[in-house]
């Protein structure tokens, strides 16, 4: 029988496993019907994976586009077809002897709102086919550049040809493309040699467990200690605490049109979200504010 556990588990993904394999492991160990994640990590990368289970998978979309923080190593002077260390080397160039200030000036060009062309080796699709499959068939497709945000980008250490860095960026940002673009701006090319995600939305490595630790909790019967409750998954959203009457109405998706946003409801601009928490601190729903003090359901979490 499948478990009715619901909430979020934070995994410290090891190198060498796909994100799908990590999710499958979480699903098997927790014995749940549904599990997912809120942002793919390439197999060579490590770090924070946020894995919602059962009805918490309905909250994934609110976390998918949140900011993410990484530490990584840019290796200058070597370009690869995948823009990372797993690819085939396509060019080798001499790395200029840049000092820290010169490197930081180049890095500064990539802070803020930037345009980024998604890599040919990515899970984005073209006519229904993932780009990486087309690239492996020798038919690479280059998607047009799209807007992403680099909120913070700093150099942590320099030992040329390697530059250790930390970046906080919007969801959908490709750090390997960022490295390739920085290498191109320097003039010698480069690729992402290693990557570790240290934060995904509100969750960090401090809350994460390795798959070995997860197996240990399974053997000890303490898996429930690892689950972040549904009401705590979106800590930055304003909260409406529903009484028993409103909780019953929301649980069945009752109409919200006649509810007055002024009676204890958070003040949210249209397009913003609030979470509704019931008398027992359970998450009942996520609502989106509409013009005129109205709300609409984004999701109802009644199971």
pLDDT, tens digit (0-9, with 9 covering 90-100), for 222-251: 999 999 999 999 998 999 888 888 888 887
Using DSSP's 3-state secondary structure scheme, residue 3 falls into strand
Residue 121 domain-assigned?
Answer: yes
- Write out the two tokens for 195: 């990557």
Residues 183 and 287 in one domain: no
150 shares a domain with 93 = yes
166 and 94 assigned to the same domain: yes
pTM, to two decimals: 0.89
60 and 154 belong to one structural domain: no
Residues 252 and 227 in one domain: no
Do 106 and 85 belong together in one domain? yes
Q: Are residues 218 and 245 in the same domain?
A: no
| Rounded to 5°, angle at Cα 224 from 222 and 228 | 140
Burial class from Cβ neighbours inside 10 Å (0-12, 13-18, 19+) for residue 303 reads: exposed
Cβ atoms of 278 and 247 within 8 Å: the answer is: yes
Domain contains 146: yes
Burial bucket for residue 6 (CB in 10 Å: 0-12, 13-18, 19+): buried
Instruction: Tell me the mean pLDDT in the region 201-230.
Output: 95
Name the token pair of 118. Answer: 């998604």
> What confidence score (pLDDT) does residue 261 get?
44
- 198-224 mean pLDDT: 96
In a domain, 100, yes or no: yes
Q: Which of 12, 42, 84, 181 is catalytic?
A: 42
DSSP 224-262: GGGPBPGGGS-TTS-EEE--HHHHHHHHTT---TT--TT
Report the pLDDT value the prediction gives residue 130, as an integer from 0 to 100: 61
Does position 42 have pLDDT exceeding 70, yes or no?
Answer: yes
H or E element that contains 105: helix 100-108
Q: Give the Cα separation of 245 and 38 in Å (integer).
A: 33
For 14-34, how does the pLDDT look when each residue is reduced to its tens digit (9 = 90+)? 999 999 999 999 999 999 999
- The two three-digit tokens of residue 67, written as one number: 């900011």
**Cα(175)–Cα(111) distance, rounded to whole angstroms?**
13
Would 2 be classed as within a structural domain? Answer: no
- pLDDT digit string (tens) for 125-166? 655 666 566 557 666 656 678 899 999 999 999 999 999 999
Please indicate, yes or no, whether residues 28 and 99 belong to a single structural domain of this protein. no
CATH number for 267: 2.30.130.10
CA atoms within 13 A on the CB side of 172: 14
pLDDT digits (tens, 9 = 90+) for 271-283: 899 999 988 889 9
Sign of CA dihedral 247, 253, 255, 260: positive
Percent of the chain with pLDDT over 90: 63
- Which pLDDT score, from 0 to 100, does residue 135 have? 55
Tell me, yes or no, whether 158 lies in a domain: yes
Please tell me whether residues 21 and 105 are part of one structural domain.
Answer: no
Residue 150 region by backbone torsions, left for phi larger than 0, else alpha for psi between -120 and 50, else beta? beta
Q: Are 294 and 256 in contact (CB under 8 A)?
A: yes
Predicted confidence band at 258 (pLDDT cuts at 50, 70, 90)?
low
Do 76 and 54 reside in the same domain of the chain?
A: no
Position 121 pLDDT exceeds 80: no
Position 1 in a domain = no
Mean pLDDT of the chain: 88
The pLDDT, as a whole number, for residue 260 is 46
Residue pair 174/119 in contact (Cβ under 8 Å)? The answer is yes
pLDDT at 253 over 90: no
How many CB atoms within 10 Å of residue 166? 15
Residues 130 and 153 in one domain: yes
173 and 89 both lie in a single domain:
yes
Contact 91, 188 (CB under 8 A): no
- Considering the domain boundaries, does residue 196 fall inside one? no
Residue span of the structural domain in which 31 resides: 7-65+202-232
Q: For residue 301, how many other CB atoms are within 10 A of its CB?
A: 22
pLDDT in tens, 161-192: 999 999 999 988 999 999 999 999 999 999 99
Active site residue 42: yes
List, as one string, the DSSP characters of 258-303.
T--TTSS-----TT-EEEEE-TTS-EEEEEEEETTTEEEEEEE---
Is residue 211 very low, low, confident or very high in pLDDT (cuts 50, 70, 90)?
very high
The answer to whether position 197 is within a domain reads no
* Number of independent structural domains in the chain: 3
Residue 160 belongs to domain with CATH number: 3.30.2350.10
Residue 263 has pLDDT above 50, yes or no: yes
Least confident window among 49-53, 64-68, 143-147, 180-184: 143-147
């Amino acid at each position: 029988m499948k478990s009715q556990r619901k909430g979020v588990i934070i995994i410290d993904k090891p190198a060498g496993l796909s994100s799908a394999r990590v999710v499958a492991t979480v699903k098997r160990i927790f014995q749940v019907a549904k599990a997912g994640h809120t942002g793919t990590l390439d197999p060579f990368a490590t770090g924070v994976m946020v894995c919602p289970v059962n009805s918490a998978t309905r909250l994934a979309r609110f976390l998918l586009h949140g900011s993410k923080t990484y530490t990584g190593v840019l290796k200058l002077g070597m370009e690869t077809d995948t823009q990372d260390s797993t690819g085939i080397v396509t060019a080798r160039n001499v790395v200029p002897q840049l000092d820290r200030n010169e490197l930081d000036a180049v890095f500064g060009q990539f802070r803020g709102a930037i345009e980024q062309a998604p890599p040919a080796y990515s899970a984005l699709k073209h006519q229904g086919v993932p780009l990486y499959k087309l690239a492996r068939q020798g038919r690479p497709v280059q998607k047009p550049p799209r807007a992403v945000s680099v909120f913070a980008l700093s150099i942590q250490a320099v030992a040329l040809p390697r530059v250790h860095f930390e970046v906080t960026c919007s969801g959908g940002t490709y750090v390997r493309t960022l490295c390739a673009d920085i290498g191109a701006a320097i003039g010698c090319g480069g690729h992402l040699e290693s990557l570790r995600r240290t934060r995904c939305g509100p969750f960090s490595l401090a809350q994460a467990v390795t798959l070995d630790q997860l197996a240990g909790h399974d053997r000890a019967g303490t898996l429930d200690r690892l689950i972040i409750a549904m009401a705590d998954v979106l800590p930055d959203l304003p909260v409406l605490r529903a009484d028993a009457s409103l909780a019953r109405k929301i649980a069945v998706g009752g109409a919200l049109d006649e509810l007055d946003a002024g009676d204890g409801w958070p003040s949210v601009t249209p397009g913003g979200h609030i979470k509704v928490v019931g008398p027992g601190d359970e998450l009942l729903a996520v609502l989106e504010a509409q013009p005129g003090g109205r709300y609409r359901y984004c999701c109802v979490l009644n199971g």
